[in-house]
Amino acid sequence: MRVKIALALMALLLSLIYVAPAAAAPAEVVPTWHLVVRGETLFSIGRLYNVSPWSIASANGLANPNRIYAGQWLYIPAGPPYYPYPPCGSYYVVQRGDTLLGIARIYGVSAWSIAAANGIYNMNLIYVGQRLYIPCP
Protein backbone atom coordinates (compact mmCIF):
# COMPACT_ATOMS: atom_id res chain seq x y z
CA MET A 1 0.00 0.00 0.00
CA ARG A 2 2.84 2.38 0.88
CA VAL A 3 4.43 1.71 -2.50
CA LYS A 4 1.22 2.68 -4.31
CA ILE A 5 0.90 5.90 -2.30
CA ALA A 6 4.56 6.73 -2.91
CA LEU A 7 4.14 6.12 -6.66
CA ALA A 8 0.98 8.25 -6.72
CA LEU A 9 2.74 11.08 -4.89
CA MET A 10 5.71 10.81 -7.24
CA ALA A 11 3.41 10.99 -10.30
CA LEU A 12 1.60 13.98 -8.79
CA LEU A 13 4.86 15.81 -8.11
CA LEU A 14 6.15 15.11 -11.61
CA SER A 15 2.92 16.36 -13.17
CA LEU A 16 3.16 19.57 -11.13
CA ILE A 17 6.78 20.12 -12.15
CA TYR A 18 6.21 19.48 -15.84
CA VAL A 19 4.47 22.38 -17.52
CA ALA A 20 3.22 21.72 -21.04
CA PRO A 21 4.56 24.26 -23.51
CA ALA A 22 1.90 26.76 -24.50
CA ALA A 23 1.12 27.16 -28.16
CA ALA A 24 2.85 30.33 -29.18
CA ALA A 25 1.01 32.72 -31.43
CA PRO A 26 2.76 33.25 -34.76
CA ALA A 27 5.05 36.23 -34.68
CA GLU A 28 3.77 39.31 -36.42
CA VAL A 29 5.65 39.88 -39.65
CA VAL A 30 7.47 43.21 -39.61
CA PRO A 31 9.33 44.46 -42.70
CA THR A 32 13.08 44.04 -42.23
CA TRP A 33 16.36 43.36 -44.07
CA HIS A 34 18.18 40.01 -44.20
CA LEU A 35 21.81 39.30 -45.08
CA VAL A 36 22.00 36.08 -47.09
CA VAL A 37 24.52 33.56 -45.81
CA ARG A 38 25.96 30.60 -47.68
CA GLY A 39 23.48 27.75 -48.15
CA GLU A 40 20.32 29.80 -47.74
CA THR A 41 17.54 29.80 -50.28
CA LEU A 42 14.59 32.10 -50.75
CA PHE A 43 12.40 29.33 -49.34
CA SER A 44 14.50 28.89 -46.18
CA ILE A 45 14.52 32.65 -45.66
CA GLY A 46 10.76 32.71 -46.18
CA ARG A 47 10.30 30.04 -43.52
CA LEU A 48 12.61 31.95 -41.17
CA TYR A 49 10.48 35.10 -41.35
CA ASN A 50 7.13 33.36 -42.05
CA VAL A 51 6.81 35.23 -45.34
CA SER A 52 6.10 33.78 -48.77
CA PRO A 53 9.28 33.39 -50.83
CA TRP A 54 7.35 34.82 -53.79
CA SER A 55 6.73 38.00 -51.77
CA ILE A 56 10.45 38.31 -51.03
CA ALA A 57 11.34 37.77 -54.70
CA SER A 58 8.79 40.34 -55.78
CA ALA A 59 9.89 42.93 -53.21
CA ASN A 60 13.51 42.61 -54.33
CA GLY A 61 12.87 42.50 -58.07
CA LEU A 62 14.35 39.04 -58.43
CA ALA A 63 13.58 37.69 -61.88
CA ASN A 64 14.94 34.26 -60.88
CA PRO A 65 14.14 33.34 -57.26
CA ASN A 66 16.80 30.62 -57.40
CA ARG A 67 19.57 33.19 -57.88
CA ILE A 68 20.54 34.71 -54.57
CA TYR A 69 24.08 34.83 -53.25
CA ALA A 70 25.90 35.06 -49.92
CA GLY A 71 26.43 38.67 -48.89
CA GLN A 72 23.30 39.90 -50.66
CA TRP A 73 20.87 42.04 -48.66
CA LEU A 74 17.20 41.16 -49.16
CA TYR A 75 14.23 43.23 -48.09
CA ILE A 76 11.73 41.07 -46.20
CA PRO A 77 8.25 42.56 -46.70
CA ALA A 78 5.24 42.13 -44.46
CA GLY A 79 3.59 39.80 -46.95
CA PRO A 80 1.43 36.73 -46.95
CA PRO A 81 2.66 34.06 -44.54
CA TYR A 82 4.73 31.17 -45.79
CA TYR A 83 2.96 27.86 -46.10
CA PRO A 84 4.50 25.32 -48.45
CA TYR A 85 0.99 24.39 -49.49
CA PRO A 86 -1.70 26.47 -47.84
CA PRO A 87 -5.07 24.83 -47.29
CA CYS A 88 -6.96 24.22 -50.49
CA GLY A 89 -10.61 24.92 -50.90
CA SER A 90 -10.06 28.39 -49.44
CA TYR A 91 -10.13 31.96 -50.67
CA TYR A 92 -7.31 34.36 -51.47
CA VAL A 93 -7.53 38.13 -51.87
CA VAL A 94 -5.29 39.43 -54.66
CA GLN A 95 -2.53 41.77 -53.47
CA ARG A 96 -0.50 44.31 -55.45
CA GLY A 97 2.05 42.52 -57.63
CA ASP A 98 0.24 39.17 -57.59
CA THR A 99 -0.14 37.10 -60.73
CA LEU A 100 -2.33 34.08 -61.24
CA LEU A 101 0.77 31.96 -61.82
CA GLY A 102 2.40 33.22 -58.62
CA ILE A 103 -0.72 32.51 -56.57
CA ALA A 104 -0.94 29.05 -58.12
CA ARG A 105 2.67 28.32 -57.12
CA ILE A 106 2.00 29.34 -53.52
CA TYR A 107 -0.98 27.02 -53.27
CA GLY A 108 0.52 24.16 -55.28
CA VAL A 109 -2.25 24.15 -57.89
CA SER A 110 -2.30 25.07 -61.56
CA ALA A 111 -3.15 28.59 -62.66
CA TRP A 112 -5.67 27.07 -65.06
CA SER A 113 -7.59 25.41 -62.22
CA ILE A 114 -7.80 28.72 -60.31
CA ALA A 115 -8.93 30.49 -63.48
CA ALA A 116 -11.57 27.82 -64.18
CA ALA A 117 -12.86 27.87 -60.59
CA ASN A 118 -13.30 31.66 -60.74
CA GLY A 119 -14.59 32.06 -64.29
CA ILE A 120 -11.46 33.92 -65.42
CA TYR A 121 -10.99 33.84 -69.20
CA ASN A 122 -7.98 36.15 -69.45
CA MET A 123 -5.27 34.79 -67.15
CA ASN A 124 -3.49 38.17 -67.18
CA LEU A 125 -6.53 40.05 -65.93
CA ILE A 126 -6.83 39.91 -62.15
CA TYR A 127 -7.11 42.96 -59.93
CA VAL A 128 -6.12 44.02 -56.41
CA GLY A 129 -8.81 43.13 -53.91
CA GLN A 130 -10.30 40.40 -56.09
CA ARG A 131 -11.37 37.36 -54.04
CA LEU A 132 -10.27 34.11 -55.67
CA TYR A 133 -11.40 30.62 -54.77
CA ILE A 134 -8.42 28.22 -54.59
CA PRO A 135 -9.51 24.67 -55.49
CA CYS A 136 -7.79 21.56 -54.18
CA PRO A 137 -5.07 20.11 -56.45
Residue 72 has pLDDT above 90, yes or no: yes
Please name the amino acid found at residue 67.
R
More confident residue, 79 or 43: 43
Q: Which domains does the chain have, with CATH numbers?
A: 32-76 (3.10.350.10), 90-134 (3.10.350.10)
Q: What phi and psi, each to the nearest 5 degrees, are found at residue 97?
A: 90, -10
Which of these ranges, 46-50, 76-80, 91-95, 128-132, has the smallest mean pLDDT?
A: 76-80
**Residue 83 pLDDT class (50, 70, 90 cuts):** low
* Torsional class of 91: left (φ above 0), alpha (ψ -120 to 50), beta (otherwise): beta
Which of these ranges, 19-28, 42-51, 91-100, 126-135, has the smallest mean pLDDT?
A: 19-28
Residue 132 has pLDDT above 90, yes or no: yes
Kindly state the average pLDDT of the residues 67-74.
92
Residue 135 has pLDDT above 80, yes or no: yes
